[in-house]
Amino acid sequence: MLAVLFFGFAALLVVTSLMVVLHKNPVTSALFLVLAFCSLAGIYLLLRAEFLGMVQIVVYAGAIMVLFLFVIMYLNLQHDVETGLQIAVRRGIGWFVGALMLLTGGVLLKRGWALGPANEVLPDVERGNVASIGRVLYSRYLFPFEVTSILLLVAMVGVIVIARGRSRAGRTEAVEGGAR
């Protein structure tokens, strides 16, 4: 049963990721990406990472993809036009590099480099996944967690500064430059 579910989610993930890359319309790509994230959340649930599965849906499929769709709508993008010899050559190079990466991954997979389990039982059997992650996050990883808040603050300030664009100061400079 677990294997059937895994193969279903894996097939969905691979097909939707391919559609993200191959589809010409950015909106359709974004919607396929939502589906890819949802199937990934399903795989997380199969691996008993319930917290990450939920966060995947809420943060990725919810927040990040809404941001993507808003930007696509704001920019009013049409279908991509991708023709010409240069594009064809680069597309060939892209697929070649992708195949090469896949081959490298396959070679690495042949080696048995995975260690055995560190613990005999899952550390979260008695408390549940969310409680265990919270316990680890607020004890051993407390400092990285706090640093994350600074990262988000910096990102927020940066986004506001960038999205505001050249404010009045820059515009008057441009006008003066034109007058000169």
Interactions with other proteins, residue window 59-118 (CB under 8 A): 59-60, 63-64, 67-68, 71-72, 74-75, 77, 80, 82, 87, 90-91, 93-95, 97-99, 101-102, 105-106, 109, 114-115, 117-118
Please pick, from the candidates 8, 14, 170, 174, the single residue that binds other proteins as defined by CB under 8 A: 14
CB of 38 to other proteins, least distance (A): 11
- Binding to other proteins (CB under 8 A) within 111-150 occurs at 114-115, 117-124, 129, 132-133, 136-137, 141, 144, 148
Choosing from 1, 126, 143, 163, the residue that interacts with other proteins (CB under 8 A) is: 163
Question: For helices 65-75 and 26-46, what crossing angle results, to 10°?
Answer: 180
- Spatial contact of 43 and 28, defined as CB atoms under 8 Å apart: no
Nearest to 33 by CA among 25, 152, 105: 25
For residues 29 and 51, what is the distance between their CA atoms, to the nearest angstrom? 26
Q: Please report whether residue 46 would count as binding other proteins according to CB under 8 A.
A: yes
Smallest separation (angstroms) from other proteins to the CB of 161:
9
Give how far the C-alpha of residue 95 lies from the chain's centroid of Cα atoms, to the nearest Å.
21
Rounded to whole angstroms, the Cα distance separating 131 from 112 reads: 33
Size of the site for other proteins (CB under 8 A): 82
Among 85, 126, 143, 165, the residue binding other proteins under the rule CB under 8 A is 165
Q: Is 77 left (phi over 0), alpha (psi -120 to 50) or beta?
A: beta
